[in-house]
Amino acid sequence: MEQMKIPEEARVTYNYEAPDVPEMVKEFRPTLFRDDNDYCCVLGPNPQMGIFGCGISQEEALRNWQHNLKRRITDADDNDEVAQYIIEALKASNKKVW
């Protein structure tokens, strides 16, 4: 799966291993970045085709991303490359992430 190219200066360092990080975020590690005053995160080639979240804080952006991820894989069809990537990765890991 192709991942969106984000300039290094826009990327935000985040500790995906912290104890309070939701399992889906730990598992898929969406790229977190700044967009003006907002924090955003994405997994996939761009915000439109990928799974995208945004908010005024890192945590809000990641909560929005996780909400969008759950909705996306629930409604996924066979042509949705990003959703299929997530579904297959979850099947392979045998992890209960929600």
Give Cα separations from 16 to 12, 20, 25, 47, 64 (angstroms): 12, 9, 7, 21, 16
Contact 30, 92 (CB under 8 A): no
User: Which of residues 95 and 37 earns the better pLDDT score?
Assistant: 37
- Does pTM surpass 0.85? yes
Whole-number pLDDT of residue 91: 87
85 and 76 Cβ atoms separated by less than 8 Å: no
Residue 96: band (very low, low, confident or very high) from pLDDT cuts 50, 70, 90: low
| Predicted local confidence at residue 21, as pLDDT | 94
Which 3 state secondary structure label does DSSP give 2?
coil
Query: pLDDT digits over 3-46, tens only?
Result: 999 999 999 999 999 999 999 999 999 999 999 999 999 999 99
Q: What is the pLDDT of residues 49-89, one digit of tens each?
A: 999 999 999 999 999 999 999 999 998 999 999 999 999 99
CA angle (96, 90, 29) in 5-degree steps: 95
